[in-house]
Chain A
Amino acid sequence: MQTAMRVTSLMMSGQSMAGLEANQERLAEIQRRMTTGKTISKPSDDPAATASALRLRSELAQNRQYSRAIDDGKAWINASDSTLSSMAEQVRRARELVQQGINGTSSQQSRNAMATELEGIRSSLVGLANTTYLGRPLFGGTTSGAQAYDAATGAYVGDSGTVSRQIGTTASSRIDVTGPEAFGPAGADLFTALSTAITDLRTAPGNLKADLDALAAASTRITTAQTDLGARFNRLDAAATRIEATTGDLTASLSGIEDIDLARTIYDLNVAQLSYQSALQATAKVIQPSLLDFLR
């Protein structure tokens, strides 16, 4: 029957070494965490947290994507809105001129002068309708051409495609208005109305009343388009605010998963250092003495 376990010299030194190595390993791991500031350096450190971190990172990247699309969309809407504003201004001037033409006091000579001014306004309006944003005509739908309206004839050369921006996982918002939507359908649009008015000022002042009505309708259409754009801008703004808030939440969650708790880590580091030092002292005390020290 064995009474007590024999403790041999190799056993003692082996166990001491194993203990010291375990202590050092722990110390090194805590130091790695302190210096990198990250709790996870490889998937096996925490597989579930790694999966969450990857998902959060991917969601954050998507949010950045949506943010960029929204910023781009807002710039497009702003450009469209300011173009429509200056066009509305000029249409008002065109209506004034036609109104003056209707008045019986104006002579044919002055009506001819009005017609000339109106020609200038028309070509300016066609130019504005061809305004581009980053090389694309704002009112040309998805055309790959450089213009929405033919500069000479004022005919619509864009297409009926629409431009949208993805502003959420499933939500997307239209950001453009096409030429026909803002300026009227082909054949009955703003530029045709102006052409007719110019001709009528010169040759048939009796038709000017109808022309004024057509211009009033065009003016209303532009205002309606601006209202639409304003509503879309607000929608993008709301989405941007929502994404900003979500991004904050996601970043906080990611930091909670990946980053160290500094106070906790410093505490762990001190505990590990203390335990390493104790192990060293114990080893020094235990390994040294043997019967040899007491034999004379």
Chain B
Amino acid sequence: MSTCLQTPKKLQPPGSQRSLSDSVQETAAPRRPWILQTGTQHAKGDLAVVIRDIVIRWVLGGVIAFLLVTLISPCFLTSLRVYEWSAELDDYVLMDGYVHRKRDEGWATTHYGPYGFNSMAGMGDSSASTVMIWGDSYVEAHHVSDEQKTAYQVNKALSEQGLSHFRAITIGRACWSVSDYYFKIPQYEKLLNPVCHFIVVAEYGLKDLCPDGETFLSEPTLQFVCRSLVNPHKIKVITGLYKWGLSDMLLAPWKAVRTVMADGRNMRFTVGPYRKVDETTADSGCSVLFAWNEPNSIIESWSYALDMLKTSTSKPIVLVLVPEVPHLERGVTCCVDPQSEWRGRLAELCMAKQVGCIDMTETLVNDYRTTGKFSRGFHNGQPDSGHLNARGNWLLSRQICAYLNEHKDSLRKTDHAVHAN
């Protein structure tokens, strides 16, 4: 069969001075069926030995590799959350004694005590007036150490300022939003009997106050839906493993399975252009504003949310707005929040509804101008954005302390009224 070509003698393949795969030294294998071609020569009768040798070596190697990576990965992976049921709170809370490691943004360890409270902040002096600080992952603050979290810093500052009759406790969980606060405030009030509630809104686009289609619905009418973020079956497994000291062993395999499943969900075999999922972005390229069709409906949603929050408690509620400023934008530090107008409208609404509102924009910007430090970001994330770092938590704690200082008399009256009742 006339096939391709004869290589002329004068043309040497360009790589002739180097081997084609010169990183490998290949021993010349005899011409055998491929299954028998190995790096070493064996007689026919040794096929079983060869296969056994290969299988044992690779299986053993695989086991060693699995153990090696599995054993070291807990140092570099965020730990799995371990929950327990709390009858008092009628909900799953992080287990008493559980130690959470956060590794993907920030590098910190959080210790938990009873009822899922951070044990360093602790319950403190139970005779003190409790101030509850609600929020999502920003308040949960796994990204910073216990001493750098808002509650600890608030309590420390209160003590320094002679306001130790107040104690702060943070109640935060990743992915929580306004509807979660609405359902949980009454439950926690039974346990702690607070004098006021601070709700930290730090997620971009004031998203936690807006309809999300899951827990805060806007169709057919505005309504809150109660939900649980935890899967009881999964918790049972993880808690069981944790009690045996094996939950860290699960980390690496769990992560690997998630990686494969995530890739698997995006699999396709049809020919055609690859389409990347686009995210909506604001014109200025700044933080994403929560996508909605009619801006007026947002005011309506906020009004509904504030009304509902007020029905969940008789105690004062204070919103703490933490915008994403300052941040880097094409090499320049941007101190202007593109959502300042919306924050202004929210503040007006709060005033009309007699809900407290602290806007931290000026605090954050002035702090940056003075110290050159960002209030968000970590070395293993991005230096200017993401969750509040130690500096950000400190600034937040100062704002809360300042508010408590300013309103300590009215809060004391509230507290006395509660005790009198």
- The answer to whether A and B belong to the same complex is no
